[in-house]
């Protein structure tokens, strides 16, 4: 798994294209083209995300209604705690082997567990690993409207932002996955937070002063140069109808140059499953 914030990608592209003032493309324009380029990833690129089942697996309950953003291939899991190790407790996630998913009227799926959960006990910790695309990022990075505590599972932003139902954000040094969004007129709440991902540590984040940066996740590092090429193609496309005929011709040549690099990458691209590494507490 590889992660970059939109802010990092914007700065890198501005440096690559020698437009650091910026003189021609604003940071907001670059970010919009990143959103557009990520749309082209579509089903070609997806990464593992986590949905936590509130209350866990419950004894003698075999059906669970899942939200609409849990789609496609999924892996239900249960957490075991091994306490027979001297002076330590190890927590392991194990797949539930026999299950089926059926579409429901809410636009999501209903999960039917076919295995007996007797051995798991009542209210065992439960989660589902599923495949998710990258969320578009807001043009202006929002800040927290209220404090996000170390153990919080929701984060309230002080702005209404247009983002996907699943995504990755960075608050200060901590990477966080969210799943589910509550939208209001002047705020946005990110739900079902999975804290301290990819080697970072969960922390308390202050209201109003903590900026929430959206992230871009990719299973292979070479997807990022492809993304940069696609973004630069779109940026040159913006100026094909502007300026003198010579300038228009230059931008068109550059657009086609980057588009050819993008096409060459997709011709040899082989999708690969990516497993998320979660921070566990023992």
Q: How confident is the model at residue 277 (pLDDT cuts 50, 70, 90)?
A: very low
pLDDT digits 0-9 by tens, 114-159? 866 665 555 578 889 998 999 999 999 999 999 999 999 999 999 9
Round the average pLDDT of the chain to a whole number and report it: 86
Taking residues 78-95, report their average pLDDT: 72
| SS3 category, 111 | strand
Dihedral (Cα; 110, 177, 219, 126), 10-degree rounding: -40
Domain boundary residue, one of 99, 131, 163: 131
CA 20 – CA 89 distance, rounded (Å): 51
| Residue 67 counted as domain residue | yes
pLDDT, residue 84, reads 61
Both 102 and 146 in one domain: the answer is no
Both 24 and 93 in one domain: the answer is no
pLDDT, residue 134, reads 92
Phi, psi at residue 258, to the nearest 5°? -70, -35
Instruction: Examine the pLDDT at 255 and tell me if it is beyond 50.
Output: yes
Both 53 and 36 in one domain: the answer is no
Both 156 and 85 in one domain: the answer is no
| Residue 282 counted as domain residue | no
Contact assessment for residue 67 and residue 181, using Cβ atoms and an 8 Å cutoff: no
Q: DSSP letter string over 251-268?
A: HHHHHHHHHHHHHHHHHH
Domain boundary residue, one of 131, 160, 188: 131
pLDDT, residue 1, reads 78
pLDDT digits 0-9 by tens, 53-86? 888 888 778 889 998 888 878 899 888 776 665 6
Share of residues in the chain with pLDDT > 90 (%): 50
Both 12 and 55 in one domain: the answer is no
Task: Provide the 10 A C-beta neighbour count for residue 80.
Answer: 14
Q: How confident is the model at residue 98 (pLDDT cuts 50, 70, 90)?
A: confident
pLDDT, residue 228, reads 96
CA 47 – CA 268 distance, rounded (Å): 19
Domain boundary residue, one of 165, 181, 210: 210
Both 52 and 125 in one domain: the answer is yes
Instruction: Examine the pLDDT at 101 and tell me if it is beyond 60.
Output: yes
The edge-to-edge listing of strands for the beta sheet with 155-157 is: 155-157, 188-190, 181-183
| Residue 25 counted as domain residue | yes
CA 145 – CA 158 distance, rounded (Å): 4
Residues 272, 180, 75, 213, CA torsion sign: positive
pLDDT, residue 82, reads 67
| Residue 278 counted as domain residue | no
Total domains in the fold of the chain: 3
Both 38 and 53 in one domain: the answer is no
| Residue 115 counted as domain residue | yes
Q: What residues make up the domain containing 62? A: 47-131
Residue 113: CA atoms inside 13 Å, Cβ hemisphere, count?
25
| Residue 155 counted as domain residue | yes
Contact assessment for residue 34 and residue 10, using Cβ atoms and an 8 Å cutoff: yes
Both 41 and 52 in one domain: the answer is no
H-type helices in 42-116, by residue range?
A: none
pLDDT, residue 159, reads 94
Both 34 and 59 in one domain: the answer is no
| SS3 category, 132 | strand
| Residue 7 counted as domain residue | yes
Both 23 and 62 in one domain: the answer is no
| Residue 254 counted as domain residue | yes
Q: How confident is the model at residue 262 (pLDDT cuts 50, 70, 90)?
A: very high
pTM, to two decimals: 0.82
Both 156 and 231 in one domain: the answer is no
Residues 65, 66, 67, 73, CA torsion sign: negative
Both 36 and 60 in one domain: the answer is no
């Amino acid at each position: 798994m590889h992660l970059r914030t939109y802010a990092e990608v914007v700065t890198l592209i501005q440096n690559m294209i020698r437009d650091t003032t910026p003189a021609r493309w604003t940071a907001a324009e670059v970010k919009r083209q990143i959103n557009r380029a990520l749309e082209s990833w579509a089903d070609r690129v997806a990464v593992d995300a986590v949905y936590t089942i509130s209350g866990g697996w419950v004894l003698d309950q075999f059906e669970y209604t899942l939200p609409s953003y849990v789609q496609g291939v999924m892996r239900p899991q249960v957490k075991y705690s091994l306490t027979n190790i001297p002076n330590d407790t190890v927590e392991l996630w194990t797949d539930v082997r026999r299950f089926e998913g059926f579409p429901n009227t809410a636009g999501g799926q209903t999960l039917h567990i076919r295995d007996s959960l007797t051995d798991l006990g009542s209210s065992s910790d439960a989660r589902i690993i599923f495949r998710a695309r990258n969320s578009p990022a807001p043009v202006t990075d929002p800040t927290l409207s209220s404090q996000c505590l170390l153990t919080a599972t929701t984060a309230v932003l002080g702005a209404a932002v247009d983002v996907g139902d699943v995504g990755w954000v960075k608050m200060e040094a901590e990477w966080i996955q969210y799943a589910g969004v509550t939208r209001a007129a002047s705020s946005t709440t990110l739900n079902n937070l999975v804290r301290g991902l990819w080697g970072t540590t969960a922390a308390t984040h202050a209201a109003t002063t903590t900026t929430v940066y959206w992230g871009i996740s990719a299973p292979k590092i070479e997807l990022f140069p492809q993304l940069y090429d696609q973004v630069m193609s779109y940026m040159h496309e913006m100026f094909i109808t502007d300026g003198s005929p010579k300038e228009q011709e230059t931008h068109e040549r550059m657009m086609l140059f980057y588009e050819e690099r993008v096409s060459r990458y997709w011709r040899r691209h082989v999708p690969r499953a990516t497993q998320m590494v979660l921070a566990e507490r023992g």
